[in-house]
Structure 1
Amino acid sequence: MHTSASLPQSHRPDHCALDSHRECVSLLPRVCELLAASGSCLPDDTSLEKLLDWFTQLSQNGTSLHENFPCLLEFISTVTHNTASDPAVICFMIKLTGVMASTVEGFQILQERLTVDEVFKVQRWQGAGLWEDPSVRSGWIHGLRNMMQHPGALSFFIQSEMMGHLFLLQTDSSLFVASSANQLLAHILLFYQPESPLTDIVMSTCDYLKQSLLPKEQKQLQQSARLLRLITQILSQAGAPLWDKVSEAVSGPLKDLVTTENSQLTVPLMEVILAANWYVNKIQVLHKCYQAVLKWTSVCTDLSWMSYQLRQDLLRVVQKRVCDLRWEVRDSTVEFLGQQAALAPSSSIPSQSLLLLDECSTLPLLREALQDQENYVRASAVSKLQEFFQLGSWVTDIVTKLLSILCEDTEGFSRRAVVQYFISWFSSSSSSPSLLMSSIPSILSHGSSDLDWEVKVHTLELATLLMDSTLAGHLTQPWHPYAAISQPTYNFSSQNSETNVEDSLSKLIEQGVISTLFSGFYDCDRPVGLKACQLLISLQETLKKSECTVKCSLPSWGWGQEIRALMGNLNGSDLVNVQEVLRCLNLEQRLCVLSQSSDHVQNSPLSLLQDILTARDVHSHAGTAEGQEIIVDCY
């Protein structure tokens, strides 16, 4: 049993942390055994990501994983040879192998055991029929990305002839897999430059880009856009030899792309051109300059004296910086554009008297930033567009772009910002613009089924506003946001009360609010389930004094299947009475379960390991009382 003696001096734990470390060491073999069991999976597979984060942090801090946790080697071997394992567990195992092989010593240990050869052999997973699962392909990519931190890993990658598989994954049917494959290729080229073994990879990459960059049909435009962003990343960070080879290889295809004049590729094309030509001062200096300009603008009551030429000079500077190679520069510029727009209150005063740059200058730049290659910049652009809700025809185009981000963007930051944009718009409107209301069903549908739990929570916040708006004037009591059930309850006047209830409920169903609540109620992420449960309790309180006959349709998947199982025989109908469903959900008991968390005991990796074991034990016993399942909580 290894203790702090195996850790570097700067990372040795105190006595309390040491006790926790010992407990983790003692619990981990049971966790590994559980995960390696045939066909075994967890109710919440995000706990595997949290466990991987812990191992990654330990490895980065100098802890030898194979020495401190020898059971991990047996776990990797067992899962590798058990093709009946759950794909989520296989994905976790491959990523973990990459983490353990990220150090020279760890790589050598795994190579001596032939582990890296077996884990990263694509043919093994193809033969078992598991390569078709996107999570396995994603695990392979991330595992390699974790491992590629030293020359030995590069040699292994080349000798194993993995480049062909990586090229195929650049155009994978899963956007998440393709995006990760792009990042891995960029990492290999940039991290190992100018290693001599890299020459063959650079040549094959250049050949691949020549052949694949120009779209042969409309559906390949997205592939071309991804490859253009890959080229931008390489050119903006490459040294002279790599830069020369890549730029020479893509110059011909780039010229061909320019002549096609395809508007969907304009922004990535511009980024490639800028990557080859533009440089910028230190980012901190630029940020301080922006803040100084904002401060100066805020104390000036009238800027009408400022000449047209000065404004144009500023605009040119901003236009250059918003297209800079460094995402931090672009992000600071987007923040500046939004902050300076916010300085002008809604009034009849011409904007040129209050702002350095008016909306005609600012909006096009923010709209372009919505397509930035960096998710932080895209999220900032979405956030700053909240200053322009009332700009007529501009808004229609912006809403279309935002809905596209919510549906297609691979990063959670951007999608969260989109839902928050609509929350802000709805909250700030005295009336409900038709464009906003017509977008609500799409926002709720995509937001409630998002992979990111924060997006789903924000979607439920929008659903809360819609409930408040639809049921306005019927609050039974004041409510406080930090109350135990932080949602209002409503009451309808006796006059036409049944009609009021049914009309309001029908409206909520039409908007997609009710399906969002049911989807959230059955969600595997505890914060999502908790908020949805609270909202359903509020709705149940509203309906309890009436016999409402309004029905909603059930989807054939997910929460629809759960409710069908709960309600029993529906005689083949896809419709179900909302009030009857609420009665059957046992909301109060579910709220009690969801309100519990292991955090009140200990918020640590040890807590996570204990949760995994407990959740699996309960999940495997059919006799567990309904509603008493254990929620695997975030730490």
Structure 2
Amino acid sequence: LDPTVDLVQDNPCLTEFIASMLALPEPSPSILSFTLRLAGILAASENRFQLLQQEKLVVRLFGRDGPLNNAVWEDASVRSGWVEGVHSMMQHQPALHFLCDDGGINVILALQGDPSLFVASAASQLLVHMLTLSVESETTEPLSTKDSDWPVCAQLIVKWIEDSLQSSSTSQTKQSLKLLTSLFGSCHATWTEVLWLRIAKQIESFLLEETVEAQHMLANLLLSMAWSPVFCDTEGNFWALVTSALERLTPMQAGPLAVGLLRLYKCPQDVRIQALTVLLQPMDCILRAASQPLEYAGLLDESVSDPATVESLLSSKSSCVSLLCQTLAHLRELLSLIHLPVDLPCTSLLRSLMTILQFCNGFLSPASPLGSTISRILINCFRVQRSALDVLAVLLEQKGCGALIESLLDVLLAYLESPNTSPTVLKKTFQATAEWLGRLQELSYSNSRCQQIEKILKDVFLVLQKHLCSPCWEVRDSSLEFLTVLIKCLRDYDEFRQSLLSSEVPRLTENLLDDPESYVRASAVTAVGHLAFITYFAPELPVIGNQYNKENIVTKLQEILSTDPEGFPRRAVIRIFTEWLRQGCTGSLEDTEQFVSRVVQTMEHDLDWEVRLGGLELVEVFCTQTICQLGPSKCPYAPISSAVTTSIHQDKSLQIFCRAKLFSFLFRSLCDCDKPVGQTACDVLLGLRANFYPVGTLKESQGTGDSHAGDGLAWLQRTLRHGSLAQNFPTDGGNGLDFQDPESMMLALGTIDLKELRDELSKSSDHVEKSPLSLLQDILATVGTVEENEADCY
């Protein structure tokens, strides 16, 4: 709002509205809440604050005589409006002094314990803002720890913080820690270090008192301080306190602190190592519990805290799952970073993950009592299984993991074969298996290694055959997605192709094109489409038998495109056809022309706009390839010199596009009721025009052509102006324009202002009128019954 008083003076209705609302004996809580917010916004300017103060509106809204002592204060929306109004107003010293003098700070302090979490959080944020405003606007000299150096408002808040930290009330202690966490996280001024010196001893004492219930909040406080430049650059006491916290907090409490410190660039190296040790301790315990004595190297040489604490948590059903899920989530977060700030023992970490997965499916018989207990707790635990599989996916890129790939694939295969694996876990197992199978090509070659790889692939396809026949559609769907990913990664790998073609997987996949579930049919289309790169489009490959017929599968996919009642399979067909075209798998130019023409005529009237949009992408790829194949210009649609504008190459490509009936589809799409379709069609036509009309030749060409074509163009221009409102877009030449005539289409490309059309299509739906009233009218019109919904709408 305008930071002058003119806004209020020129619009007396604002103050009249506030005064009339205050005059009501029982104001509506929602209207009162709105009024408090509005008044706070108006009072954000010091001049407007003074004007509202003169009319006694500020004190009646935010002072003792306001809604504080009214029954309406019981409504949470009123308390929320009061806090937000005060926050908006708190931009200058007069507002700060008003609240201090009128006792408003005590109200805000009390609201931190409000039953409404929104109000409590807003009150805490307001106190942070007020403390910052008080110190930074009312001090000229550096502060010390003495009370007398601090402004009055800041003294009140700091005194409450100190008292709350020493209070026997757990709720007050938590409120003060939350406030400090927010303050140190948002304010990085040097005076925050002075405040810290006043409370540091009390914070340290919390770490020594194991009975303090607010210990878990210390991790958040220390982490917000560590990210502040005021504290992260210091040496000594602060980092010593962080080290103490890592040692004394429970693993569940210290975990978030540890992962936060590991992401911190300026964290001291000794603290970083200690944080990593805290994070890895549960994983190390799992590894040690699996075998006694330890068969492989552990994750840690020594522990930060007592190992018995972690063992105790892992031995309890209530805490074991929570601790492992938290640890795995933190590891995934850390491994997802582009640059790891620490060196992780990835080989041992992978062993630990495999051990967890084996505990969960009961395939590991631990020798230690602790291992037996953990195994009983984790058996069929979906939460831990999903978390461990998520970490496997990001661990793939780390060094040192390739040596264990065969052992890991054995574990994953056991999950794929187990009837107890839930559909969700199975999907994640498929994803992890596909990722790790993709690394097979990196392994060194030898006869024994090749035999091992062939066995792995054979086992994978055997279990995939079973899942493709599952009665559960989610399993069939996940299996098809898994097959598609495998083909994308490994289709150039000889052992993979041979194993795939010698299995029943291709036949079963094609059978699923007729699955009763549309999601499965869509996934089957995608899988068959990628399978075609091996079975149909690679004639040099030895095909077992003669079961693969390219024409049959193309016909089947075209049938799905024209007859499937659901949109998902039809969209999948268009994507596959486009991919085939892009990869040059559709034969000669003549064959490709016929193929594209059939596809366009099939889907141009499809009711699903995403199918039509996919069709436009297919057309764009075809145009690009045809022009590149016939003409000397660079792609896509690069302008060529005017000397060859009417070259035989250009004429031939235009004739091909007309015969394939592309222009009728493109121009009709300009009037599509779904804007993305119209925009894409316009872009394709602009690309074609740039090819057929090089720079400088467009204006020369306009206005040419016979009168019959001119009438047809006039009709087309009128139709396009109607946009999506155009009815019955005929393309049979009945309106004087033949969409299969190269000369007419050349003239249309040169005459129609496609750039203006693109600008129109780019406008938002509310470009005619942008106003709150227009929006409300649109909402009411959508609802239909205005009388019943008008009040709710407004």
Normalising to structure 1: TM-score of the pair?
Answer: 0.44
The structure having more radius of gyration, on CA atoms, is 2
Normalising to structure 2: TM-score of the pair?
Answer: 0.36
